[in-house]
């Protein structure tokens, strides 16, 4: 079956025009081969048939010769017996044969005649029922005149082509002399005395279109052509040409008016000739070639039909493939348009979300300037500015997180944590927002047996916060949100938790639920409403985080009837061997007015505003700062300082002339005692775990993402200094 499929495939791979010419070329080759083979086959068949005919005629000649000889002997014996009877009768009668007695004997014995010779008188007398002249027998009489008394002589004498004589000669008993008794017969009436092709080929199916002739060397005594029978060999040009064939039994070509195949045989004095027209012999070649070409034509038509069928099928498959590709392109185009529209809507929305806090920041700055002498009012403005800044930071983080998650580059930071404590801390954060919107938020924990866990606390926080935020955001006035955290099971190593967030909000349509986890996806009624705001990234981030943690999410929602979202996650149990992250060494220092007093820091930062902020935070904490605008300048300043003079280095990553990674490598490679131990903190806008890992791999001690706060900066500096 596989071979047939391969054959069909190979036939189908040949172009139609090429296949046609190949079949024609092969046909011509087949025709040539069959023509040559047909010629040889026809010649061999003709030779075989001619030899068969010659062999048969040869056998018949032998049979005829045997039969003819046997009959002749019988006839001659009968003549001899009759002659002996006549001699005996004359001897018993003691008389000389008279005419009456002889004619009575001739009639009685059915003889043609009797010849008597008298040696005493020299007379010769013939007594015959027919008028015959004694002169016809002179030669025979002369030959047998000396026959002795006890001898007899018999012979068949062929008188002419029509008659023959069987005769017997004995010595006379009544007087010296000879006696001849003879019987004249037509040769045609003598059994076995006429040789003809009709009698020779009785029972033989001789179906060639040739000529058969049998001669005795001079006369054609039998032939398939009755005109030739009885004629002279010299009068037949074909036989004369065939007599030139040297080897008896071999078939050779001769030419007489037309080309013939001829064979010559000889047996017991007979010469057998078989002739076959070459055109007739090769006529079988035409039939052979014709039948072969008919078969080949049928085969070629079949192959061509199969090719056309395969081509038709492939053409249909190509059309189907083109239609499918066209449909896919159309679908992709629609999806691209859809994605583009989603991004356009996202940009419109994110532009709104960015401009809103920026507008708040700018407005609060103007209000703070207006209330220059009202410190309470100014503090209130600064707090609102900080909240707006935090919102902007969260928004930027969400956009970047989604991009990294789609590329598979987002890394989860794992640590020890208390899940119950995290859940209730989130509830404390969310309750004020719920109250502002007039929504009741109920947060409960059920069956929490293993609260100390090890995993990505940040991811769990983001999942719960995003889901509750959406439930509050897309809810109705005086609506309800119920958030429940419950432990489902445990195998001793992992505990399985379910977080269920149910709301009485606006719900989602079945159509939107098909692509609700796509980035920037928002339902049309939300996009067209000013009541609900958002970027459409919340659910996308939640799904990606859950997938990365090996969990599942299930959504049940109906337009106008709220939404229930269930998240199932398995988390490693912390059996107490994994300590929670603490920074005890810095607590006492943080409580002092100058926690970094006596510390000299080298700041490598190309942005003046960021440099000013870092210098303020450090000096306000009691430290002194040295600034560099590039990585090269930072490396030069460190090299120019005394060993141990610089206690810590704050290194920006992306700087002109030389980046922070290269500068760190140069510093670590310096031949001085503090080159390998001086703490280097990466201070960069690249805020992801992989960025932190990358910084550590290149010789930095900690990673401090921007924007930085004074407290976080002090904690990080104290942390690296305590390790040294």
Choose from 69-73, 110-114, 532-536 the range with maximum mean pLDDT: 110-114
Across 30-44, 201-215, 625-639, least confident range: 201-215
Average pLDDT of the residues in 402-427: 82
Query: Is a pLDDT exceeding 70 seen at residue 496?
Result: yes
Query: Is a pLDDT exceeding 80 seen at residue 418?
Result: yes
Query: Is a pLDDT exceeding 80 seen at residue 81?
Result: yes
Choose from 82-86, 229-233, 559-563 the range with maximum mean pLDDT: 559-563
> pLDDT exceeding 70 applies to what percent of the chain?
85
Query: Is a pLDDT exceeding 80 seen at residue 403?
Result: no
Instruction: Map out the domains of the chain as residue ranges.
Output: 1-189, 195-280, 411-573, 585-723
Between CA 376 and CA 312 the distance in angstroms is 86
Name the β-bridge partners of 455.
415
Q: How confident is the model at residue 687 (pLDDT cuts 50, 70, 90)?
A: low
Average pLDDT of the residues in 77-83: 84
Query: Is a pLDDT exceeding 60 seen at residue 539?
Result: yes
Between CA 385 and CA 379 the distance in angstroms is 10
DSSP, collapsed to helix, strand or coil, labels residue 469 as helix
Q: How many CB atoms lie within 10 A of CB 295?
A: 12
Query: Is a pLDDT exceeding 80 seen at residue 663?
Result: yes
Which H helix or E strand runs over 689?
A: helix 689-697
Average pLDDT of the residues in 78-89: 83
Dump pLDDT digits (tens) for 5-35: 555 555 555 676 777 788 788 888 888 887 8
- Alpha helices by DSSP H, listed for 535-600, are 538-548, 584-590
Residue 688 near residue 404 (C-beta atoms within 8 A): yes
Can you give the pLDDT at residue 617?
92
Q: How confident is the model at residue 531 (pLDDT cuts 50, 70, 90)?
A: very low
Can you give the pLDDT at residue 72?
75
Query: Is a pLDDT exceeding 50 seen at residue 465?
Result: yes
Q: How confident is the model at residue 700 (pLDDT cuts 50, 70, 90)?
A: very high
Can you give the pLDDT at residue 209?
67
Average pLDDT of the residues in 670-690: 86
Between CA 260 and CA 318 the distance in angstroms is 63
User: The domain 195-280 is classified under which CATH number: 3.40.50.970, 3.30.1330.60, 1.10.3720.10, 3.30.450.20?
Assistant: 3.30.450.20
Across 64-73, 148-157, 439-448, least confident range: 64-73
Average pLDDT of the residues in 516-531: 63
Q: How confident is the model at residue 637 (pLDDT cuts 50, 70, 90)?
A: very high
Q: Does domain 411-573 have CATH number 3.20.20.70?
A: no
Across 307-311, 373-377, 424-428, 485-489, least confident range: 307-311
First to last CA, the chain: 77
Can you give the pLDDT at residue 213?
87
Can you give the pLDDT at residue 159?
77
Residue 452 near residue 418 (C-beta atoms within 8 A): yes
Average pLDDT of the residues in 158-170: 83
Q: How confident is the model at residue 222 (pLDDT cuts 50, 70, 90)?
A: confident
> pLDDT exceeding 90 applies to what percent of the chain?
23
Between CA 598 and CA 645 the distance in angstroms is 11
Query: Is a pLDDT exceeding 80 seen at residue 627?
Result: yes
Q: Which CATH class is domain 1-189?
A: alpha beta
Q: Return mean pLDDT, the chain.
A: 82
Average pLDDT of the residues in 704-721: 89
DSSP per residue over 376-444, as a string? Answer: HHHHHHHHHHHHHHHHHHHHHHHHHHHHHHHHT---PPPEEEEHHHHHHHHHHHHHHHHHHTT-EEEEE
Residue 216 near residue 269 (C-beta atoms within 8 A): yes
Residue with tokens 């992250």: 581
Q: Are strands 178-186 and 163-171 parallel, antiparallel or unpaired?
A: antiparallel
pTM: 0.46
Between CA 415 and CA 689 the distance in angstroms is 13
- The CATH code of domain 585-723 reads 3.40.50.2300
Can you give the pLDDT at residue 579?
59
Query: Is a pLDDT exceeding 70 seen at residue 557?
Result: yes
DSSP, collapsed to helix, strand or coil, labels residue 550 as coil
Residue 262 near residue 250 (C-beta atoms within 8 A): no
- Two domains, one topology: 1-189 and 585-723: no
DSSP, collapsed to helix, strand or coil, labels residue 501 as strand
Between CA 87 and CA 109 the distance in angstroms is 13
């Amino acid at each position: 079956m596989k071979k047939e499929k391969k054959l069909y495939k190979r036939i189908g791979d040949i172009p139609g025009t090429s296949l046609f010419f190949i079949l024609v070329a092969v046909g011509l080759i087949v025709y040539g081969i069959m023509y040559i083979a047909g010629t040889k086959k026809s010649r061999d068949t003709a030779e075989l048939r001619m030899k068969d005919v010659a062999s048969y005629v040869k056998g018949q000649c032998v049979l005829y010769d045997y039969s003819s000889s046997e009959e002749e002997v019988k006839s001659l014996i009968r003549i001899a017996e009759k002659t002996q009877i006549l001699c005996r009768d004359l001897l018993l009668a003691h008389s000389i044969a008279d005419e009456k007695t002889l004619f009575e004997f001739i009639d009685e014995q059915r003889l043609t005649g009797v010849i008597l010779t008298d040696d005493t008188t020299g007379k010769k007398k013939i007594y015959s029922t027919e008028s015959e002249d004694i002169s016809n027998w002179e030669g025979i009489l002369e030959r047998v005149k000396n026959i002795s008394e006890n001898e007899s002589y018999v012979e068949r004498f062929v008188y002419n082509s029509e008659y023959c004589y069987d005769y017997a000669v004995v010595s006379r008993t009544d007087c010296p002399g000879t006696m001849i008794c003879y019987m004249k017969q037509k040769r045609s009436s003598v059994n076995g005395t006429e040789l003809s092709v009709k009698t020779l080929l009785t029972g033989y199916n001789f179906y060639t279109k040739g000529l058969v002739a049998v001669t005795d060397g001079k006369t054609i005594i039998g032939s398939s052509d009755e005109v030739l029978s009885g004629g002279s060999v010299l009068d037949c040009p074909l036989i004369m040409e065939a007599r030139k064939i040297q080897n008896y039994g071999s078939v050779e070509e001769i030419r007489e008016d037309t080309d013939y195949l001829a064979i010559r045989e000889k047996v017991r004095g007979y010469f057998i000739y078989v002739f076959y027209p070459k055109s007739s012999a090769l006529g079988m070649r035409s039939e052979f070639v014709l039948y072969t070409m008919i078969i080949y034509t049928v085969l070629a038509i079949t192959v061509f039909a199969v090719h056309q069928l395969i081509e038709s099928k492939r053409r249909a498959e190509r059309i189907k493939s083109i239609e499918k590709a066209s449909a896919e392109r159309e679908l992709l185009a629609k999806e691209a348009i859809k994605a583009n529209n989603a991004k356009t809507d996202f940009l419109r929305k994110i532009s709104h979300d960015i401009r809103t806090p920026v507008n708040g920041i700018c407005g609060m700055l103007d209000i703070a300037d207006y209330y220059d002498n009202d410190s309470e009012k100014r503090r209130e403005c600064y707090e609102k500015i900080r909240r707006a800044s935090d919102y902007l930071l969260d928004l930027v983080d969400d956009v970047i997180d989604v991009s990294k998650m789609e590329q598979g580059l987002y890394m989860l930071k794992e640590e020890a944590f208390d899940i119950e404590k995290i859940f209730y801390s989130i509830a404390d954060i969310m309750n004020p927002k719920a109250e502002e919107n007039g929504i009741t938020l109920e947060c409960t924990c059920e069956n929490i047996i293993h609260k100390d866990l090890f995993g990505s606390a940040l991811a769990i926080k983001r999942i719960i916060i995003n889901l509750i935020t959406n439930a509050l955001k897309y809810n109705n006035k005086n609506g309800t949100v119920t958030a429940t955290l419950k432990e489902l099971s445990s195998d001793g190593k992992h505990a399985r938790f379910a977080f269920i967030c149910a709301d009485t909000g606006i719900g989602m349509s079945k159509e939107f639920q098909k692509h609700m986890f796509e980035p920037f996806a928002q339902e049309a009624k939300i996009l067209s409403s000013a009541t609900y705001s958002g970027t459409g990234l919340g659910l996308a981030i939640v799904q990606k985080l859950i997938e990365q943690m090996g969990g599942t999410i299930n959504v049940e929602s109906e337009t106008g009837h709220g939404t229930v979202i269930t998240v199932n996650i398995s988390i490693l149990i912390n059996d107490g061997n994994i300590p929670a992250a603490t920074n005890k060494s810095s607590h006492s220092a943080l409580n002092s007015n100058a926690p970094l007093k006596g510390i000299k820091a080298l700041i490598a930062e190309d942005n003046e505003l960021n440099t000013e902020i870092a210098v303020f935070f450090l000096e306000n904490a009691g430290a002194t700062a040295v600034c560099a605008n590039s990585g090269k300048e930072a490396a030069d300043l460190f090299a120019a300082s005394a060993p141990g003079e610089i206690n810590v280095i704050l290194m920006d990553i992306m700087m002109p002339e030389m980046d922070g990674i290269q500068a760190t490598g140069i510093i670590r490679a310096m031949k001085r005692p503090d080159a390998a131990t001086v703490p280097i903190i990466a201070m960069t806008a690249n805020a992801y775990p992989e960025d932190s890992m990358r910084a550590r791999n290149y010789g930095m001690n900690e990673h401090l993402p921007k924007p930085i706060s004074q407290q976080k900066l002090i904690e990080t500096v104290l942390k690296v200094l305590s390790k040294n």
